[in-house]
Every structure is written in C-alpha cells, then in structure tokens.
Amino acid sequence: MKTENATGDAPRLYQAILPHLQGGLWNDVRNVHTLAWMVTGMLLSRRSTPSFWLPYVHSRAAFAQSSERRFQRWLGNKHLQPSLLY
C-alpha cells in the first residue's frame, strides 16, 4: 500500500483486519483489538519490532511506552495460544 501518509491508512487497515480476527478463540475482546493494531503496525511499518509499529497505532495512551508495553504483555500472555489461532 503506497500512499503519501501511511498513518492515515492505519484506521482503514485496522477495520479491514478486525473482522478476520474476531472469529478466533479469545478470552477477552481486548486481545482482538490489540492484535489487530499489532498486525496493522507490522504491515504498514514493514518491520517485526513493536517499537516500529507505534506511529501507526491509534490509541488513547498518552505515551508510546504504554502501547509498547501493551504489545509486550500480549506477546507474553501464556493464556493465548498462537498455534490455535494459526
């Protein structure tokens, strides 16, 4: 996706990804939203490092650290089983 402002594409991409993820096995709907933003950030930044996703994440968090910590908690959550989602 090539545009002049990739950040402007983030909400549209997020909305496109969200329905595909909602059918998964989730213990909390917030996990779906976090994963959708992580996938959006990864696709738009073309990087696999959470710190590069932050400019593309729309959040109420006041500091970038808050979003990055949210991603780290999601990635380290032992109750989520990526193999089931895959």
Write out the residue range of the structural domain in which residue 15 sits: 9-84
Q: 18 lies in a domain?
A: yes
Per-residue pLDDT of the chain (86 residues; tens, 9 = 90+): 444 455 578 889 989 988 888 877 677 788 888 888 988 999 999 988 888 888 888 776 666 678 888 888 888 888 777 666 65
Q: 13 lies in a domain?
A: yes
Q: 33 lies in a domain?
A: yes
Q: 67 lies in a domain?
A: yes
Q: 60 lies in a domain?
A: yes
Q: Please, are residues 21 and 48 in contact by the beta-carbon 8 Å criterion?
A: no
pTM above 0.85, yes or no: no
Closest among 47, 46, 44 to 58, alpha carbons compared:
44
Q: 3 lies in a domain?
A: no
Q: 4 lies in a domain?
A: no
What are 19's two structure tokens?
């329905």
Q: 2 lies in a domain?
A: no
Total number of domains constituting the chain: 1
